[in-house]
């Protein structure tokens, strides 16, 4: 069964969600990100997915202290946003993240990924594939490239990457349902461990992704944000199921 990753997006020190990554479409859910993290811990979360939005926009980590505080709660963290140098990757891992998520940097400097894999190992490094209509977006989703998701996925596979996070930007934060076709396409095309992101709004969406995972074993996890904050999905309902 899929592992559910509650999402904590950090901006200005607060826990927020953006609609399709748009800064002007921000909702603040908690002033203190530790509050939802404790809720997810109590509900049985196995991981938390943290995005440093300020880091994504500026190009360097902006919430190292908050990451350390979150890590101290004892739940494994995967952290992305602004990791565009080897030093930045080291910073979040040393702060307590179990896994660092590279995004923009992979498109602009593939050698950084290779160095990070060699230094920290493939279990500590993941790559975020954030896409609009199958083409990768960068720099906090502000720019869309000509590189396709599948092209990059094959290159990552050859480099020794094990885990990718595939976000369908068009559905992110909408609660309108995940893009099952795009997730299935990526899962079937590679041997990568895939974490799906974008659009999950109802228990039925999780069930659909879980069914897809039985057909495509590479699909191993799903990130859920707004649906948890607005109560349309209860984490405890999912973590209490066998293997969830």
User: Of 9, 52, 172, 205, which residue is the catalytic one?
Assistant: 9
Separation CA 160–CA 166 (nearest Å): 17
Cα 169–Cα 171–Cα 175 angle in degrees, nearest 5 = 140
Q: Say if CB 81 and CB 55 are below 8 A apart.
A: yes
User: Of 52, 69, 109, 130, which residue is the catalytic one?
Assistant: 130
172 is catalytic: no
24 is catalytic: no
Residues with catalytic roles:
9, 130
């Amino acid at each position: 069964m899929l592992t559910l990753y509650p999402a904590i997006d950090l901006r200005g020190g607060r826990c927020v969600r953006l609609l399709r990554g748009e800064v002007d479409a921000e909702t603040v859910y908690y002033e203190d990100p530790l509050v939802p993290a404790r809720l997810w811990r109590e509900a049985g979360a196995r991981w938390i997915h943290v995005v440093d939005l300020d880091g994504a926009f500026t190009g360097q980590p902006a919430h190292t202290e908050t990451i350390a505080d979150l890590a101290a709660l004892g739940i494994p963290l995967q952290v992305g946003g602004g990791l565009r140098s080897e030093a930045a990757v080291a910073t979040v891992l040393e702060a307590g993240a179990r896994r660092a998520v590279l995004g923009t940097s992979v498109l602009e400097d593939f050698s950084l990924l290779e160095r990070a894999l060699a230094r920290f190992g493939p279990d500590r490094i993941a790559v975020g594939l954030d896409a609009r209509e199958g083409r990768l977006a960068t720099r906090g989703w502000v720019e869309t490239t000509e590189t396709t998701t599948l092209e990059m996925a094959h290159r990552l596979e050859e480099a020794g990457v094990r885990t990718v996070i595939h976000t369908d930007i068009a559905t992110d934060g909408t609660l309108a349902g995940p893009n099952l076709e795009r997730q299935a396409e990526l899962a079937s095309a590679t041997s990568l461990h895939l974490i799906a992101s974008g659009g999950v709004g109802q228990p039925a969406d999780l069930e659909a992704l879980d069914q897809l995972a039985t057909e495509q074993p590479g699909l191993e996890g799903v990130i859920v944000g707004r649906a948890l904050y607005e109560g349309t999905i209860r984490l405890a309902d999912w973590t209490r199921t066998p293997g969830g």
